Amino acid sequence: MLTTKVKSFLKKCSSCLWQKQCINSESLTQAVVIPVLSFLICCIPLLLNEAPAYANENFHEVVSVKFENSNMQVFSELSNSFFHEDTISPLSNPLFLLSDGMLACQEAYGLFPCSNSLPGNLFLILAYGFLLLTAAKLISKGSEQLLEVMNPGLIGGLLLPVLGALPDAALICTSGIGGTVEEAQQEVLVGIGVLAGSTTLILSGAWAGSLVAGRCDLSGPGNTAKDLTLTRGYDLFHTGITTDEQTRWGALIMIFSVAPYICAQLPLLDQHPEEGPESALAGCILALSGMVLYCSYQVASPWLQKKKIEEARLQLLRTSALQSISSFSSNLILSSSASPHEWSELPADRILREIFTYFDRNEDGKIQQDELRGLILGLNIDSGSFEDEEQVEKWLNEFDLNTDGMLSEAEFLVGIRNWANRVTKQRRAFKFQQIRDSIALNDPKFWGSKLEEAREALKLLELELEQDEEVSSSAEGENSYIDASKLYKESAIYLVLGALLAALFSDPLIDSIQGFSNASRIPPFFVAFVVVPFASNASELFSSIIFAMKKRKRNISLTYSQIYGSVTMNNTLCLGIFLAIVYARGLTWDFSSEVTVVLLNILSVGLIGVSRTTFPLWYAAPVISLYFISLGGVALLDNLLGWH
C-alpha cells in the first residue's frame, strides 16, 4: 500500500513538473528527493530488523500481554501468512523487545517509522533532519521569490522573520503538545534544546563565520574595513569588517528581546516555583507582543530611514546656519567701530540682535519671507539639499511660533538657541555657557567641525539609501520579464510545501531524538541542541556566510542585521510558543541552566555588536567558543551544581 502511494505521488509530481504548472525545472530534484527519501526512511527499519507495524499488510491479529510485576502492556503483531509460528523473528517478539525494560516504539501518525536501536534512531534523526533542512530551503526559496514582486518592507520586515523561524517553531510546538503531562515534560527538553541550540548556532557560527568570510583590510583614520580589499590574509588585528549604525540598533533590540526569558525565570529566582504558570503566561504575552512590535519596526524601517535622512538634512541646515552666523559676526566686528575685545564681552543675544537688525531691511521688527531669503543667501548657508522655498519653509516651521509667516526678534533668538542646543546635543541646563561663548567669541572653527560632522552623517545615510535603490532597481531590471502571477504561484507552492514538511516531520524527529536519548543515555537536550539546529538553520547559516563573502559594507550590514533579527524572532515567536505550551499543559519551568547559556550568548554578542561597528578578525575566536562553552556550561550546571 505504501509503495503504491509513493508511486502515485511521484507520478503526480512528474506530471506537474513536465507540464510546468507548479514549479520550474530547477526544482525537479527537490520534488523527487523528498518522496524518494521518505520511501527509504520507511524501508530502513526493515533493513535493521526492526519490523515496524506496517511491514506486512496481512498483520491482523493483535495480542495484548499484561505483565503484573512491571505493570506494562506489550503489543505483539503476529501473522499467519507471513511468519510461521515456529520461525518468528526474535526481534519481533515482545519478550525480546522488553528485555531492556522498554516498550516497542510507536510510529508517528501510524505511518512514519521508528526504532528502538541506537543506529536506527541515529539514521532516522539524520533522515528527518534532512527533510527539515529541505523544508527550510523551500521556505527560503519561496520568501526570496516573494521579495521580487512584493513590497520589501512587508516581506523583509514581516514574512521573512516569521517564515525563517517556522521550522524551529514547528519543532517546539510539537515537542509538548501530545502525550500525558509527564511525557510532555520530558519532550519539552527537546523543545528548549532546539531553541537554545538555534540561538547559539546563529550567534556563534553565523556571526563568527561571516566575520571570517567577509573580512577586508582595516585602514583609514577610523580603522574601518575597505570594501573588496583583502591583502593581509588572516591578520587578526588588521583585517575585519565594518557595519553601519543601523545594525547596532538590531543588536540592541536583540538584547531587549531576552525579557521573556527573565520573566519566565523570576519564580525560580525568588524561590516561588508555584508561580511558574503565571510567569509563563506573562512571558508568553511579552514575547508575542515583542514579535508584533519588532515586525512593525521592520515594516516601517524604510520609512524610518527616509525620516532619518530628512532629519540629517535639517541638521546640516541648522549647523551651517550656526557656522555662518559665527563667521558673519566676525565680519560685523571688522565693520564696527567697537574693538574685538568689546565684541567678545557682548552676550550671544546682543550679537544675534545685530544680525537680526542687519537683515531687517524695512526696520519693522519683523523678518518677512523675502528678507528671510536674503538672510539665507547673505549668510551663505548650506542648503542641505533643500530647495530655496523648502529652506524658507523649514526656517518658518522651526522659528515662527505664532505662525504669522514672519520672524520676530524674539522668535529669531529662541530659534537660534534651540538650534545650538540640538547641534551640540546639550540641553540648556548643561553647559549652555559654552554654547553662548562659542557664538560670542566668534569661533567659526567650532561650528565648522560640527558642520563637517553633519555633512558626513548625511553622506553616509544617503549612500545607504542609494545602495538600497540600486539593489531594488537591479532586481527590477533582472525580473522585469518575469510574470508576477507565476512568481506568486511558485512562491505559494514553495511556502506551503515547506510548511507542510516542517509540520509533518517535526513529530517523528522529536520521537527519534527521544529514542536516541533512551538508547544512548544522552539527555535529549544535548541531542536537540547539537543536531536539530544544523538542520533547521543550515540554509540560513550558509547563506549568511556566502552573502558576507561579497566583502561590501552593505552586504556585511545586512548579514549581521539578519543574524540579530533571527535571534530576536527566536526570543519572541519561538519562545512565545514554548511558554504557551508550558502554561497550557501545566508543565514545570525548570530550565535555569538552559536560560543561563542563552542569556550568556545573547548578552555577550549583543554587547559586542552595540559597542562598535568595526570588528577585527580576532573577535571570531571568542564568539565561536561560545558554542562549546554553552554545551559545557549546561552539563556543568545540571550535573555538578544540580540546577535541574
Reported as a single tens digit per residue, the pLDDT across 156-193 is: 556 666 777 888 888 888 877 877 888 888 888 888 88
Mean per-residue pLDDT, 609-638: 92
Instruction: Give yes or no: residues 36 and 97 share one domain.
Output: no
Containing structural domain, residue 80 = 61-106
Q: At 571, which helix (H) or strand (E)?
A: none
Task: List all residues 6 or more positions away from 317 whose beta carbon is below 8 Å from its beta carbon.
Answer: 381, 382, 383, 384, 386, 391, 394
- 411 and 348: one domain? yes
Looking at residues 192-199, what average pLDDT do you find? 90
Quick check: 611 pLDDT over 60?
yes
Angle (deg, nearest 10), helices 532-548 and 166-177: 170
Q: Pick the more confident residue, 276 or 559.
A: 559
Region 553-577 average pLDDT? 89
Average of pLDDT values for 558-565? Answer: 87
Q: Count the Cβ atoms, other than its own, within 10 Å of residue 24.
A: 10
- Please say if the pLDDT value at position 107 is more than 50: yes
Residue 71 has pLDDT above 60, yes or no: no
- Cell numbers 518575469: residue: 482
Residue 460 or residue 441, greater confidence: 460
Q: Which of 36-45, 80-89, 247-256, 554-563 has the highest mean pLDDT?
A: 247-256
504 located within any domain: no
Summarised one tens digit per residue, pLDDT across range 300-356 is 777 666 777 777 777 777 787 777 777 776 655 545 555 544 544 445 677 778 788
Q: Between helices 276-335 and 259-269, what is the axis angle to 10°?
A: 130
**Has residue 290 got a pLDDT over 50?**
yes
Say which range, 207-216, 245-254, 298-307, 627-636, has the weakest mean pLDDT.
298-307
Decide: residue 141, CB within 10 A, 0-12 exposed, 13-18 middle, 19+ buried. buried
Q: For residue 567, is it within any domain? A: no
Residues 99 and 6 in one domain: no
Task: Assign 469 a pLDDT band (cuts: 50, 70, 90).
Answer: low
Residue-wise burial string across 619-638, b where 16 or more C-beta atoms lie within 10 A, e elsewhere: bbeebbebbebbbebbeebb
Helix H or strand E segment including 452? helix 444-478
Asked if residue 65 and residue 33 are part of one domain, the reply reads no
**What whole-number distance in Å separates Cα of residue 113 and Cα of residue 108?**
7
167 vs 44, residue with greater confidence: 167
Cα(281)–Cα(89) distance, integer angstroms? 50
The tens digit of pLDDT for each residue in 364-411 reads 888 888 888 888 887 777 655 667 777 788 888 888 888 888 888 888
* Residues 532, 129: Cα–Cα separation, whole Å: 7
Mean of pLDDT over the chain: 73
Same domain, 12 and 92: no
Q: Is the pLDDT of residue 593 over 80?
A: yes
Strands 239-242 and 614-616: antiparallel
More confidently predicted of 279 and 95:
279
Residue 34, pLDDT > 70, answer no
Asked whether residue 121 carries a pLDDT value surpassing 90, the answer given is no
Minimum mean pLDDT range among 203-217, 407-421, 564-578:
407-421
Q: Both 30 and 71 in a single domain? A: no
Give yes or no for residue 531 having a pLDDT over 70.
Answer: yes
Q: Which helix (H) or strand (E) holds 407?
A: strand 407-408
The answer to whether position 437 is within a domain reads yes
Among residues 437, 459, 481, which one ends one of the domains?
A: 459
> Is 33 found in the same domain as 69?
no
| Percent of the chain residues topping a pLDDT of 90 | 18
Please report, to the nearest 10 degrees, the dihedral formed by the alpha carbons of residues 520, 525, 528, 531 taken in order: -60
User: Predicted confidence band at 621 (pLDDT cuts at 50, 70, 90)?
Assistant: very high
pLDDT given at position 562: 83
pLDDT at residue number 255: 96
pLDDT at 629: 93
Contact status, residue 277 vs residue 585, Cβ threshold 8 Å: no
Same domain, 339 and 376: yes
Contact 206, 563 (CB under 8 A): yes
Q: What would the DSSP string read from start to end of 273-289?
A: GGGHHHHHHHHHHHHHH
**pLDDT value of residue 412:** 84
Confidence of residue 464 (pLDDT cuts 50, 70, 90): low
Last residue of a domain, one of 459, 487, 503: 459
In a domain, 352, yes or no: yes
Residue 549 has pLDDT above 70, yes or no: yes
Q: Are 26 and 55 spatial neighbours (Cβ–Cβ below 8 Å)?
A: no
Is the alpha carbon torsion for 49, 52, 57, 62 positive or negative?
Answer: positive
Three-state DSSP class for 164?
helix
* Residues 96 and 1 placed together within one structural domain of the fold: no
- Does 380 reside within a domain? yes
Asked, for residue 400, whether it belongs to a domain, the answer is yes
609 in a structural domain: no
Residues 31 and 76 reside in one and the same domain: no
The residue-averaged pLDDT of 111-122 equals: 84
CATH code for the domain in which residue 318 is found: 1.10.238.10
Look at residue 434 and tell me whether its pLDDT is greater than 60: no
The residue-averaged pLDDT of 248-269 equals 91
Average pLDDT over residues 438-454: 61
pLDDT of 603 > 70? The answer is: yes
Instruction: For residue 28, give the amino acid letter.
Output: L
Do 335 and 394 sit in the same domain of this protein? Answer: yes
Is residue 541 a contact partner of residue 164, using CB atoms and an 8 Å limit? no
Q: Which of 459, 483, 512 is the last residue of a domain?
A: 459
pLDDT at residue number 399: 85
The closest alpha carbon to 550, from 283, 305, 254, 229, belongs to 229
Check residue 51 and give its pLDDT.
40
- Among candidate residues 642, 533, 519, the one with its CA nearest the CA of residue 195: 533
Residues 7 and 79 reside in one and the same domain:
no
Output the pLDDT for position 153. Answer: 52
> What's the confidence (pLDDT) of residue 424?
67
pLDDT of residue 259: 95
Lowest-confidence segment of 38-42, 143-147, 218-222, 486-490 by average pLDDT: 38-42
- Give the pLDDT confidence score for residue 356 in this predicted structure: 84
In this structure, is residue 90 part of a structural domain? yes
pLDDT at 534: 81
275, 267 contact by CB (below 8 A): yes
DSSP designation for 616 = E
- Count of domains for the chain: 3
